[in-house]
Structure 1
């Protein structure tokens, strides 16, 4: 399949690889080789292209003409003219030019006007980056020293050559004059044609074009291989993170289950001991009207039972708070803040009779109900929800990364 067909799947996982995926689509398709001319504004790039392809396709003027990437197919080759570097103070043209150099280019013609002398810092940096990329991707960069006819003589040309060679010792210079070439063509002057340097440059370009299929195959393998390796590392990290999160989730749940069981057993034992120590069930005897302001055995026992219940709730609540189980989930909360508490919802507020204490703490069903309800709210707590979300996100990221890896395997 086309790399572009699955581009979004890969870029969704590796967003910083968007340009690499776009380039992979270009080199994976069997389209025309692409020659891109780059260089500073008014260095003769457009005219050079016109003479190379033998027709005036690209606009030529003293003022800025090329403001976006312009292209034309001739002789089975796509020729691209990029805006001049530094032509736009807002750097919009620079962005187009660099985009052309890095994305739309099998062969780069780096053009520098001879009249400017040595390269400036920006040109040097770009040229170094292009050659470093060429060593890695096998894309080719040819240095074109343009407009040599504007120099006084060959001695001045040699000075410029020497200055640039001192800056870039390993770069071969192709000195050309589009003006001489056009005059040689129009006037049929063979010597003028040769002195223009254009036939030699064109021969060099043809040699470079012959290497493009092999270079593209190498670049496609390199790009897809690099991204597959990155995805493999990412997948390993994601899977380890998922495994760690799941292990943490299990450990936390095990610790909670064990701790909750211990605290319920403990307070249930305390309640049972307290109930067994009581004699006559005074609490179940209702108070009469004459007992409204009196201290009765029933009132004392009910207060005793309520205190025991409160102590049990405090112990359970202390354990739950340590586990992050305090407030209710947002959808269960009410305007009464005091009621937005797990203990209140599960246990209630008040217990004053033996039968209620025994039902809650003295039976297996009661203890199991507490365990089930508290576990429910534990899983709905903020920390557990965040961990569950992290696990779900990791699982989705793994799925997306595996899909991206399949896309790259299909482009290989």
Structure 2
């Protein structure tokens, strides 16, 4: 600072080398990870900054007209950043000076659109290693927005080891030392133990230009520079800690997500198998019961009158064949009702959409499998009395059970979870590969 190269710069460059990981690998990791962990977009971008940016980054943040640009100019030792009574910093300004990248973000009270906020967020949360939180002494205590940001910065620092230095600026504009002490006490209480770096850019400029050592000392900049040098020396360790933290958090989140998905998938498969077993067992039971009832009925009929064809003279009369065929049809209908009740309890009612016809009354599973009517003993025995017939009923009804809306929805849900699990596994592999390559770089 102030024309001198920081002593820690060489150490930082040796510990944070230019990574050999190609941008293609990082882009691939982002494509694999972000669909699974969309909330981690910032963390992935931050990781890219941590492993690809060699120089330390110091960001000055604070409200408009609190002396941020003047502070930066004095720290650098030259008029690099625009200073004016009117609002100048409406975009992210940066300068690389003696191995340190300095960022001047738009004010917290930006009022010219969301673009300012985007620049400020990028500088504060994405790029910076050290944040200089600037508050003008003439404004008195911190307002609600400043307090909220300071609280967020302290929480972030506790999590990531990134550092925040509090700068109380423009103290030369206070009327007296008593007022200065009063404001320092009030702001220090709000900062909750965070050390105050009390500075005057105006005094430092006058002392620097006039060669006045006492004025330079009273400006507070020597103490601020010392604090910055100490903070810069801690950056390599902080970056390593934050890198490990972000990889660890995302890997842990993916592990938890995969575990939940695997458990969900296992439960769905178990439920699906159990429902299929229950259906198969229940269907065999109802078919066997209906078959036994029909066999008992047929055995009690005696002579097979239904097989005797009616003659023209019997067209309007009641014959033994007609009575038996009606009896058989009623028994068959009751059997159908019993089977249909079982099927309805398992959601097997209508035909799949691709199999339906224009005649809606025919679009039922019962008609598709068993037909409309049965009037002869041989047909009943073929369908229910023979093992092959019963097996066909079981097979055909099971086919429609598997194609029912509930089973299809269940299968679709399983497919979704399998796809999500596959995506999470792919994301985990991509993140592990990226971490391995970054550490080897």
- TM-score of Structure 1 vs Structure 2, range by shorter chain: over 0.9
Q: CA RMSD of the aligned region, Å?
A: 2.1
Provide closer, same or farther for how the CA distance between residues 374 and 409 of structure 1 changes in structure 2, counting only shifts above 3 A.
Answer: same
Aligned residue for 1:54? 77
Matched ranges for 1:217-366 at <5 A: 217-366=240-389
Cα distance, 1:102 vs structure 2: 2.1
- 1:37/1:82 contact within 8 Å kept: yes
Normalised to the residue count of structure 1, the TM-score between the two structures is 0.93
Provide closer, same or farther for how the CA distance between residues 68 and 331 of structure 1 changes in structure 2, counting only shifts above 3 A.
Answer: farther
Aligned residue for 2:414? 391
Cα distance, 1:161 vs structure 2: 0.8
Aligned residue for 1:7? 30
Structure 1 range deviating more: 291-300 or 310-319: 291-300
Cα distance, 1:256 vs structure 2: 0.7
- 1:35/1:107 contact within 8 Å kept: yes
Aligned residue for 2:6? none
Matched ranges for 1:393-408 at <5 A: 393-408=416-431
- Structure 1 distance, partners of 2:230, 2:28, is 32
Query: How many residues are paired up?
Result: 412
Identify unmatched segments of 5+ residues in structure 1.
Answer: none
Cα distance, 1:359 vs structure 2: 2.1
Provide closer, same or farther for how the CA distance between residues 150 and 393 of structure 1 changes in structure 2, counting only shifts above 3 A.
Answer: same
Cα distance, 1:39 vs structure 2: 1.0
Aligned residue for 2:120? 97
Cα distance, 1:215 vs structure 2: 0.4
Cα distance, 1:329 vs structure 2: 1.8
Aligned residue for 2:10? none
- 1:36/1:107 contact within 8 Å kept: yes
Aligned residue for 2:95? 72
- Structure 2 distance, partners of 1:294, 1:149, is 123
- Structure 2 distance, partners of 1:128, 1:57, is 30
Aligned residue for 1:128? 151
Matched, 1:111 2:134: yes
Aligned residue for 1:175? 198
Matched, 1:86 2:116: no
Normalised to the residue count of structure 2, the TM-score between the two structures is 0.87
Cα distance, 1:77 vs structure 2: 2.1
Cα distance, 1:198 vs structure 2: 2.6
- 1:4/1:21 contact within 8 Å kept: no
Stretches of 4+ aligned residues off by more than 6 angstroms: none
- Structure 1 distance, partners of 2:374, 2:51, is 76
1:156 corresponds to which of 176, 179, 200: 179
Structure 1 range deviating more: 110-119 or 279-288: 279-288
Provide closer, same or farther for how the CA distance between residues 46 and 293 of structure 1 changes in structure 2, counting only shifts above 3 A.
Answer: farther
Provide closer, same or farther for how the CA distance between residues 160 and 23 of structure 1 changes in structure 2, counting only shifts above 3 A.
Answer: same
Cα distance, 1:92 vs structure 2: 5.5
Cα distance, 1:27 vs structure 2: 1.5
- Structure 2 distance, partners of 1:288, 1:55, is 120
Q: Helix, strand or coil for the counterpart of 2:347? A: coil
Structure 1 range deviating more: 102-111 or 402-411: 402-411
- 1:88/1:94 contact within 8 Å kept: no
Q: Helix, strand or coil for the counterpart of 2:127? A: coil
Identify unmatched segments of 5+ residues in structure 2.
Answer: 1-20, 437-441
Cα distance, 1:95 vs structure 2: 4.9
Cα distance, 1:91 vs structure 2: 6.0
